[in-house]
Chain A
Amino acid sequence: MKFLVNPSKFNEMADYLFRPLLILSIILFAIGLLFSFYLSPDDYQQGSTVRIMYVHVPSAWLALLTYTIMTLYSILALAFRIPFGFIFNTAVAPIGAVFTLICIISGSLWGKPMWGTWWVWDARLTSVAILFIIYLIIIFMNLSFENRIVREKVIAIFILVGSVNLPIVKFSVDWWNTLHQPATISKLSKPSIDPSMMAPLIIMTFAFIMIGVAIAILRIKTEIISRKSYLS
């Protein structure tokens, strides 16, 4: 587990992991798209518009997952003085931003037929939009501080302050009985989704995770190299 914390160990693991991960994600994407467009049935209410779910839901999970991992790494970096946390934050912020953007675009595409409007000022949608802007602020912060030490730590503090928004995004559906439907999978009882639709969703989620991790590996390695050249 050392590679999660130590840059040089991470590099070794990264070289070893990157190629298979990329190939696996391409394969998974192919299967996932095939399943979600042709092999899975229409929904009893929404017909074929439900297929947007296979992109919208995984990207939403990934957006939240990235931010939670960034919060963990910020705590590690600030409280336990592990510099790898700062490297991780700078590298992964744009990936999280892209996932949130995919989630918002696919959500509004899905909203048009279902709710009748592209965008509704609704608790879940506003909090995801705030999450997207928080990602953007993290990226802008990366570009606007000269001193590296200050930049890293201020970003870590901002991520921790911004993590207050995470529970709002997660529970906004249950707190306010809003327009966005309650969570489908997270219900402890039998998930209210039919196995034939669950399969593409799972495949697509793993495909998203694989591609996310692959890009993250690339960006973290470049960040480590850029820091080394900066120091020498």
Chain B
Amino acid sequence: MLIVQDLSIERLDKKIFENISLSLVPGNITILKGKNGSGKTTLLKAILNIIEPSFGSIYWKGKLLQKNLYDFYNHVTYIGDSTSSLKKLTLRDNINIWKKFFISNVNDAQIEIALKTLRLDNYLNKKVGTLSFGETKKLEFLRLIMENKKVWILDEPLSNLDEDSIELMKQTFEDHCGKEGSIIFSSHQNPGIYVTEEINL
């Protein structure tokens, strides 16, 4: 249960955004809308306690975020604008690393299904560097599924994805919210996803 109370951030005495408040209740989706450079990524980073807000505060489970930061991190997955899979290694290695490093309880069958739905299953032995950018972006969602944490914080998840991938994205968002998960993501176009709260920056 994440609550952000009239957060405002200044960088080099330039106001990026002012008293933004939002609350992330399990089961709902929040979208951050705004033009490029309107501070969407800064807000997401502030929620992750990477950026220190100049005013306002963020609460997680009732306590100040700084107090129980690592408990918050246990429930959060973050997908940034850059693809985090290791280009030098094959897809299989990446999956192994993710499975081990995130100690994820997702079994191989589920990964198999996810790969099929993302249509990445025949690239298992290819190096990630050879995949197209769209495919590596889809790979990020595989990590999302493998970590399977409660809170998803996504930065521009729908950029350069093709039609049916966006369709697939909506599907996974609904499943996740169904299972008491919550999502906050930023997007500069209008994705047409059912959204419970909308923040315009």
We find that the number of chain B residues with CB closer than 8 angstroms to chain A is 4
By a CB distance below 8 angstroms, the chain A residues around B14 are: 231
Asked if B50 is at the interface of the complex by the 8 Å CB criterion, the answer is: no
Within 8 A of B (CB), among A177-232: 230-231
Asked if B109 is at the interface of the complex by the 8 Å CB criterion, the answer is: no
Minimal beta-carbon separation of A153 from chain B (angstroms): 13
Minimal beta-carbon separation of B23 from chain A (angstroms): 30
A231 to B14 alpha-carbon distance, docked (Å): 8
Asked if B13 is at the interface of the complex by the 8 Å CB criterion, the answer is: yes
| A228 (CB) vs chain B CBs: closest residue | B13
A148 to B14 alpha-carbon distance, docked (Å): 14
Asked if A1 is at the interface of the complex by the 8 Å CB criterion, the answer is: no
A230 to B14 alpha-carbon distance, docked (Å): 11
By a CB distance below 8 angstroms, the chain B residues around A230 are: 12
Asked if A79 is at the interface of the complex by the 8 Å CB criterion, the answer is: no
By a CB distance below 8 angstroms, the chain B residues around A149 are: 11-12
A230 to B12 alpha-carbon distance, docked (Å): 9
Minimal beta-carbon separation of B125 from chain A (angstroms): 40
| B11 (CB) vs chain A CBs: closest residue | A149
A174 to B13 alpha-carbon distance, docked (Å): 50
A231 to B11 alpha-carbon distance, docked (Å): 10
| B13 (CB) vs chain A CBs: closest residue | A231
Minimal beta-carbon separation of B45 from chain A (angstroms): 14
A231 to B12 alpha-carbon distance, docked (Å): 7
Minimal beta-carbon separation of A79 from chain B (angstroms): 15
Minimal beta-carbon separation of A203 from chain B (angstroms): 45
A220 to B24 alpha-carbon distance, docked (Å): 47
By a CB distance below 8 angstroms, the chain B residues around A148 are: 12
| A147 (CB) vs chain B CBs: closest residue | B12
Interface residues as binary, B9-21 with A (CB distance below 8 Å gives 1, 0 otherwise): 0011110000000
A148 to B12 alpha-carbon distance, docked (Å): 9
Within 8 A of A (CB), among B8-61: 11-14
Interface residues of A (CB under 8 A from B): 148-149, 230-231
7 contacts between A and B (CB under 8 A): A148-B12, A149-B11, A149-B12, A230-B12, A231-B12, A231-B13, A231-B14
